[in-house]
Structure formats: C-alpha cells, structure tokens
A = this chain, B = another copy of it.
C-alpha cells in the first residue's frame, strides 16, 4: 500500500467516525489527505468501497482480541475478559469504534452491509457454554444480560473520563 493510500484510509476513518458517513464528502477527504479526489476512486472504486476498506482494516484488531479472550482457560477469566473488552478496544482504537457504532444509523443499505454477524454469534455461543459450565440456573438469560451490558459499555464508556471507565468495569467484574 502506498503512502497516499494509507493517508486516505486514515483520514476517511477519522472523518467518517467524527462527522458521519453521508456527511463526509469525498472532496473533503481528498483535501484533508492532500490528494486529488480522483485518486480515491482509482484505489477504492467508489465511496462505499472506501468505507469497506476502512471497516475491514479496523475489524481485524477487533477479531484478534476476541480470539484471545476465547482462548483463555477458566470460565471466570472468559467472563472477565469479556467485560474488559469494550475498555480495551476503546483504548486501542477509539475512532474506529465510534465509526462502528455509527454505521447502524447512517442508512438502511449501510446498516445492512455491516451488520455484525459472525463474531457476535460466536461470542453468544461461547458465553452460553461458559455460564452453563459455571452452573448458572438460566445460562441463556445470563448470556443475554452480559451481552447487553457489554454492548452498553461500548456506547457509554467513550463519554466517561478514564478513571470512571476503569471503576465501572471493575465494579461490573466484581458482580461476576
């Protein structure tokens, strides 16, 4: 990948996340990346293709982190690893995560295109197995609740100051 290509990707990520996809024009991206607008279409075909590239680049890190958690040994560690995930992801790549959150609300086509499928599915199954192993009475409901708590963390943590983030995560961990 060329320097300019990488610059386009990083600028697009930043603008898509901060200003919204439909609110970010290709000319704005080109200007900020100090590149001719035509180059964007040379490399990424169209605006959606650019978004595709941005998302698939960012998704890699996310999947890597999930695999790491899933490979842990004890059920306790798995649950705790799960609760910490939003905090870790946010620390690692806050901009990409904001983009990820926003995709659902841009347009029906985009929402459909990036509907988080396989990783979320795997997470669900892993948690079900873990809660069963832990001997919980209603493992399915426990999974749903934890998925929901973690999902909520993803959208609420960005607005909290660093120390409160850690506090909240530790408090939730203490409940499991």
Q: Any chain B CB within 8 A of the CB of A53?
A: no
Q: Chain A: interface residue count, which band? A: 20 to 34
Q: Which of A144, A145, A152 has the most CB of B within 10 A?
A: A152
CA distance A60 to B73 in the complex (A): 50
CB-defined contacts of A147 to chain B, threshold 8 Å: 156
Q: Kindly identify, within residues 1 to 30 of chain A, every residue whose CB is under 8 Å from any CB belonging to chain B.
A: 18-20, 22-23
CB-defined contacts of A155 to chain B, threshold 8 Å: 151-152, 155
Q: Which of B20, B151, B167 contacts A141 (CB 8 A)?
A: B167
Q: Any chain B CB within 8 A of the CB of A163?
A: no
Q: Which of B23, B148, B168 contacts A152 (CB 8 A)?
A: B148
A53 to chain B, nearest CB (A): 20
CB-defined contacts of A88 to chain B, threshold 8 Å: none
Q: Which of B104, B106, B148, B164 contacts A153 (CB 8 A)?
A: B148
Q: Any chain B CB within 8 A of the CB of A101?
A: yes
Q: Any chain B CB within 8 A of the CB of A69?
A: no
20 A-B residue pairings within 8 Å (CB atoms): A18-B108, A19-B107, A20-B22, A20-B105, A22-B22, A22-B23, A23-B106, A98-B105, A102-B104, A102-B105, A105-B106, A141-B167, A144-B168, A145-B168, A145-B172, A147-B156, A148-B168, A151-B155, A152-B152, A155-B155
